[in-house]
Amino acid sequence: MSSFAAISATDPETRPLIRPITVLNALAVLAGLLLAALMAAPLRAGAEPARAPRLVALSQVNYGALLLQAGPQGKYVEAPLVASDIDIKITGIIARAVITQRFRNPAKGWAEGKYVFPLPDNAAVDTLKMMIGKRFIEGRLKERREAKIIYEKAKAAGKKAALVEQERPNMFTNSVANIGPGETVVVQLEYQHEIRQDGGEYRMRVPLVVAPRYLPKPVMHLAAHRPGEMTVAISDPVPDAGRISPPVQHPAKGKRNPVSMNIHLAPGFALGEIKSPHHKIAVRREGSDAALIGLADGEVWAERDFELTWTARPGAAPDATLFRETVDGQTYLLAMINPPAMTDGQPLKPREMVFVIDNSGSMSGQSMRQAREGLLYALSRLKPADSFNIIRFDDTMDQLFADAVAANDANLTKARAFVAGLEANGGTEMLPALKAALIDARPGDTGRLRQVIFLTDGAIGNESQLFAAIQAGLGRSRIFTVGIGSAPNSFFMSRAATYGRGSFTHIGQTSEVKTRMAALVRKLEQPAMTDLRVNWPGSADPESWPNPLPDLYAGEPIVLTARMDKLAGDMELSGDLAGRPWSLKLALGSAESGTGIARLWARRKIMALEGIRYQTRDWKAHDAALLAIALKYGLVSRLTSLVAVDVTPSRPKGAELISADVPLNLPAGWNFEKVFGEDLPAIDEEISPTSIREAALIKTTDTPPVAANQKPKGLPLPAGATEADLQIMVGLIALMMAALLLLMLVLRRRGFGPADERRPA
Amino acid sequence: MSKAARPAGRLARLVGRARRALAGLNLSERLAVAVIAFFVLVGCAFLGHGLYIKAKAELAQILLERAWTRTLAGAPHARPWTWADMWPVARLDMPRLGRSAIVLNAASGEAMAFGPGHLQRSPLPGQAGISVIVAHRDTHFAFLKHVRPKDILRITLADGRPRRYRVSGFEVVEADASGIEAHVPGPSKLALVTCWPFGALSGGSLRYVVHAEAEPGPVRSAEIRWRTPGEGLSP
């Protein structure tokens, strides 16, 4: 009906004509349907509906499953039987992980598999290996576009190939081409990241699930490019939605993707408690300062992030940990420093707290309960001198008070009722809520700390828009993100907290709400260490990241990486601890040697470059700098991918091409249903399986590889059809029926009517 | 009075004749006549509206052709008719099939009723990246189903210089996952987009994309003089 609308909008004189049409629409469309169905019937006769496999679109499945491409329309056949093994070695505060994934092709043809997998958001991926039979093939790091081309060429040539690409800093995809019938391919990738520490507790998270993300619809808005000049622009907040939506498995379909895990922990100090909040683990101690950790149940399903926490034995925790590595004549430093306990000697500043709570559909169930409880707890900890406000959002938003109000009994009662009434529903349009939360009525008020607490699962895809909004509107506010649920989008939340100069807290299950929220609230109540600065020795002019150093709250360590010519002299840290100056000197020469520090530095630098990308105007130069770093240090990034190709072709020459000839993927007959769509069967003799296959074949060779040097995007295409043909068809049918009836009537009048009607009853 | 009465009288006579004819019919026959009248009415309405859409698409191109001549003469944003909110930006020719169309500045529903539209989020032809031009499969881009690989397409912009593109392939994509990355640096490319499948009666989410790549080298002078569609060029 869209063309009706469009026409009536431009030519008002056609409106009277449209009225009778809409009134008679039902009847006419019915007639059209009948006819179309009749004409399409012979086409369907050859179909084999019983053999058609269950097709999934990328937006239909839930856990990371291996998908085999089927046909050109972004549909996949789900292939189970992928298993992952994760092996992690923790040395000091660096974790190095080896992930091994086994893919098996259950089909009778050659297939391409694609696996979407999550990693910690500060992970630096540097190695890809592929095992075929007994041979190992090592991947090479290439510019993303080049890697894609190499992969596509190998795929077309029938060679086995694997390609690891970064979709988000914490989400990667692994594509494997030309898996033979019934064949198993093992792909191994390695990454490292530094361990988080908070309040004496060390924490490592291994994300195992990519939560389905809410992707806001493209919106049309007025954009002022130059003052006084307005144009309408349609902006798609998630240009790469097709790439980052992993298929979603219905929970009732059983769980897939078993994961086994092996962790060697050697933190460099005497170990206290070792715990995993969500999984049962088996711990074997090796002396006082090392341990082996495995899963108590052997294997788990990849449905909940794995988390491991450990503490030092009382008194054994180091105040500062320094690691160094020398690569190509340059020294890299990783430092983790615990500042002194921040005493609360002086009166605390009152705060203006804005709570933003996500009640979108992705939060439903346990997550919503956790968020509600977390927020109620935070409300209970407000002091009479504080002021507060609450904003809730799904695809709509509400603000409880017009401006922050005093935390008195009346207001708190109102707030509790508001929170208790929240139900999870709808989409996640976070931007308006974020902007509303950052509106500061008193930007010059230094007597109060303005803190924005964001409770969400972060299941959104328009991160960049949100980051830009945070950077533009932060002012004196500080943003603290609280990740809710079993698989929050921790990349978004930790990055949002970084931009918001606050911190990120993850709440995995209801039992943690109290402790984690208490830790956060305690942190927020206490004064922060601000204006942190490093003074490097003498002439050494190191490049250090993060830069500038973020504010520090009680219990948090300072983590920084630096590259310098040589390691000598003292590094001096200074800051403002609740109004008093604080400083600390560390001898750089005392750093222990470690591995992977250079890559961690490079990863931090890449993250920093990505972070300021929204501010820079010259994206090309910016991206070139980023690419140079990623290539030099061999890291997978937005602009670089790992690709491995087997030199010998394994798919017989002249044999089937993945999407064209695998019987499982493209059985004769089911093309029609797929191409015609589910609403109306079409009537066009020109459509044949061959033409569709041609389209599929050309797609693999002729379209430019989806490169990601700028933004990987597929332009949304407007509709390209009018209803003219349908209307003409319906009109002709109606006229034909009229003519037929007239003919019958005339014949009857002249006595040639059907014999049975003239016969006496 | 007499002038007004004459047609009125004629109408009265007609009605009278119809009434006499109807009087000779029994109930079921009267019902049949009513049904016939209904079908005629519905048929005419639908047929009329369908043809109206087609006619509008064809006729608009004539007016657009005039606006295009003015554009080539240097008038920016030459509007085909005074109240139009769109203007021609290019001319698209398909010499082998003898088809041509004036491309409008927007790919909105309103614009596409009159001609193919240039998707504003993509670069203009001749610039780096993929220029996307969209039209309806049952009007201006009905000819896309006859386009073959290696066919030559020609785009003329307001500067009057024709640019040649060679068809490199076809694709059927989901509208919201086209994979078309418009602003990729590199040679100029063209994507002609319409609904898929051809001949289907209703819309749907599939799109047919004809990819073409800029042909290097000078344009033959014969093509610059080229005026009307189908004026024999390539075979």
How would you label A705-739 residue by residue, b for 16+ Cβ within 10 Å and e otherwise?
A: bbbbbbebbbbbbbbbbbbbbbbbbbbebbbebbe
In angstroms, the CA B180 to CA B121 distance is 11
Q: Which CATH number fits domain A351-525: 3.30.750.24, 3.40.50.410, 3.100.10.20, 3.20.20.10?
A: 3.40.50.410
* CB spacing of B197 vs A73 below 8 angstroms: no
Query: What percentage of chain A reaches a pLDDT higher than 70?
Result: 63
CB contact under 8 A, B177 and A713: no
Examine residue B5 and state whether it is found in any structural domain, yes or no: no
CB B231 within 8 A of CB A758: no
Report CB contact under 8 Å: A714, B46.
Answer: no
Q: Quick one: closest CA in B to A746, which residue?
A: B29
pLDDT above 90 for B119: no
Greatest mean pLDDT range, A31-45, A171-185, A704-718, B34-48: B34-48
Residue listed under structure tokens 């010059």:
A444
What pLDDT digit, counting tens, does each position of B189-201 carry? 889 998 877 877 7
The reported pLDDT for the residue numbered A736 is: 92
Q: Is residue B230 part of a domain?
A: no
Residues of B in contact with A720 (CB under 8 A): 112, 134-137, 141, 193-195, 207-208
Q: What backbone phi and psi angles, to 5 degrees, belong to A451?
A: -125, 130
Give yes or no for residue A628 having a pLDDT over 70: yes
Contact with chain B for residue A747, Cβ under 8 A = no
Rounded distance between C-alpha atoms, residue A195 and residue A319, angstroms: 15
The reply to whether residue B184 touches residue A707, judged by beta carbons under 8 angstroms, is yes
Q: B-chain residues within 8 Å CB-CB of A699?
A: 169, 171
What pLDDT is attached to residue B80? 83
B103, burial (CB in 10 Å: exposed 0-12, middle 13-18, buried 19+) = buried
Phi/psi zone of residue A501: left (φ > 0), alpha (ψ -120 to 50 degrees), beta?
A: left
Q: Which of A687, A721, A732 sits opposite B138 (nearest CB)?
A: A721
Distance from the Cα of B45 to chain A's closest Cα (Å) equals 7
Cα(A73)–Cα(B174) distance, integer angstroms: 6
Residue B43: the pLDDT is 92
Between residues 205 and 234 of chain A, which touch chain B (CB distance below 8 Å)? Answer: 233-234
> Shortest CB distance from A745 goes to which of B29, B39, B57?
B29
Q: Looking at chain A, which residue has its C-alpha nearest residue B114?
A: A7
| Confidence label for A615 from pLDDT (cuts 50, 70 and 90) | low
Q: A684 and B205 in contact by Cβ < 8 A?
A: no
DSSP per-residue letters across A473-506: H-TTEEEEEEEESSS--HHHHHHHHHHTTS-EEE
Give the Cα separation of A427 and A335 in Å (integer): 41
Classified as helix, coil or strand, B135 is coil
CB B47 within 8 A of CB A731: yes
Structure tokens belonging to residue B124:
């203009």
Q: Answer whether residue A76 shows pLDDT above 60.
A: no
Gyration radius (Cα) of chain A, Å: 31
Contact A569, A537 (CB under 8 A): yes
Q: Which amino acid is at A704?
A: P
Of B46, B108, B194, the CB nearest to A734: B46
Using CB atoms, pick whichever of B52, B53, B181 lies closest to residue A707: B181
Which of 570-609 (A) contact B at CB < 8 A? none
In single-letter form, the type of residue at position A166 comes to: Q
- CB-based contact (8 Å) between A716 and chain B? yes
Mean pLDDT computed over B38-50: 92
Higher pLDDT, A240 or A354: A354
CB contact under 8 A, B113 and A3: yes
C-beta separation of A637 from A166 below 8 A: yes
Distance CA A403, CA A392 (A): 14
Length of chain A equals 761
Q: How many CB pairs under 8 A join A and B?
A: 265
C-beta of residue A517 within 8 angstroms of C-beta of residue A378:
yes
Give which of A59, A231, A701, A725 to mutate to test B binding, by max B Cβ within 10 Å.
Answer: A725
Please state whether beta strands A83-91 and A135-138 pair in parallel, antiparallel, or not at all (unpaired).
Answer: unpaired
Averaged pLDDT for residues A91-98: 84
Report the pLDDT averaged over residues A36-44. Answer: 37
* Closest CA–CA distance from residue B47 to any residue of chain A (Å): 4
Instruction: Say if B40 falls within a structural domain.
Output: no
Closest-CA residue of B relative to A696 is B171
pLDDT given for residue B133 in this prediction: 92
Nearest residue in chain A measured CA to CA from B40: A735
Mean pLDDT of B15-22: 81
The residue count of chain B comes to 235
Q: Is A677 on the interface with B (CB under 8 A)?
A: yes
Q: Is A28 on the interface with B (CB under 8 A)?
A: yes
> Which residues from chain B sit within 8 angstroms of residue A673, using beta carbons?
none
Q: Provide the shortest C-alpha distance from residue B35 to chain A (in Å).
A: 8
- For A265-286, write each residue's pLDDT tens digit: 888 788 888 888 877 888 888 8
Contact B91, B174 (CB under 8 A): no
Q: Would you state the structure tokens that stand for residue A411, as one six-digit string?
A: 């207001």
DSSP states of B89-128 as a string? EEEEEEGGGTEEEEEES--SHHHHTTS-EE-TTSPPTTSS
The one-character DSSP state at A90 is E
Tell whether the model's pLDDT for residue A609 goes beyond 90. no
Q: With CB atoms and an 8 Å threshold, state whether B113 touches A734.
A: no
Contact residues, chain A, for B197 at CB < 8 Å: 675-676, 682, 684, 687
Residue A611 has pLDDT above 60, yes or no: yes
Question: What is the predicted pLDDT for the residue at A752?
Answer: 58
Q: Is A417 exposed, middle or buried (0-12, 13-18, 19+ CB in 10 A)?
A: exposed
Assigned token pair, A524: 């927020």
* Model pLDDT, residue A394: 84
Domain with B60 in it: what CATH number? Answer: 2.40.260.10
Q: How confident is the model at residue A350 (pLDDT cuts 50, 70, 90)?
A: confident
- What sign for the dihedral angle of Cα A600, A602, A606, A608? positive
CA distance A2 to B109: 8
Q: Which residue has the higher pLDDT, A48 or A509?
A: A509
Return the bridge partners of A131, or none: A136, A186
Q: In this structure, what token pair is assigned to residue A348?
A: 């605390």
Tokens of B47: 């047929």
Residues of A with Cβ-Cβ distance to B53 under 8 angstroms: 3, 7, 722-724, 727
Over chain A, what is the mean pLDDT? 68
Give dist(CA A64, CA A620) in Å, integer: 34
A20 to chain B: which residues are within 8 Å by CB? 41-42, 45
Q: What is the pLDDT of residues A544-592, one digit of tens each?
A: 887 777 777 766 777 888 888 777 778 888 877 766 777 888 888 777 7
Average pLDDT, chain B: 80
Q: Closest CB to B43: pick one of A32, A735, A744.
A: A735
Q: Which of B47, B178, B200 sits opposite A715 (nearest CB)?
A: B178
Please tell me which residue of chain A has the smallest CA distance to B44: A731
Mean of pLDDT values over A739-755:
77
Shortest Cα distance, chain A CAs vs residue B162, angstroms: 24
Chain B residue nearest residue A677, CA to CA = B204
- B2 part of a folded domain: no
Q: Any idea what the Cα angle at residue A673 is, between residues A671 and A675, rounded to 5°?
A: 65
Give residue A355's pLDDT: 93
| Structure tokens given for A670 | 């089911």
Question: Rounded to whole angstroms, how far apart are CA atoms A652 and A656?
Answer: 8
* B101 inside domain: yes
Q: How many angstroms away from the CA of A624 is the closest CA of chain B?
A: 14
Q: What is the three-state SS of A620-655?
A: HHHHHHHHHHHHHHCCCCCCEEEEEEEEEECCCCCC
A746 touches chain B (CB under 8 A): no
Question: Taking the complete model, does pTM exceed 0.90, yes or no?
Answer: no
Residues 6+ apart with CB under 8 A from A463: A168, A491, A492, A495
pLDDT (0 to 100) of residue A650: 59
Which domain does B60 fall in, by range? 53-224
In a domain, B231, yes or no: no
Determine how many CB atoms are found less than 10 A away from the CB of residue B161: 11
Given a cut of 70, is residue A104 above it in pLDDT? no
Q: How far apart are CA A513 and CA A505, in angstroms?
A: 10
Closest Cβ–Cβ partner in A702, A704, A734 for B43? A734
The answer, yes or no, to whether the previous bond of A548 is cis (omega within 30 of 0) is yes
Under 8 Å between Cβ of A550 and A501: yes
Q: Could you state, in order of their start, the residue ranges of all structural domains in chain A?
A: 1-45+728-761, 319-339+529-569+595-633, 351-525
Q: Do B207 and A738 touch (CB under 8 A)?
A: no
Task: Say how many C-beta atoms besides its own lie within 10 A of residue A341's C-beta.
Answer: 9
CB within 8 Å: B178 and A748: no
Q: How many distinct structural domains can be found in chain B?
A: 1
pLDDT at A77: 53
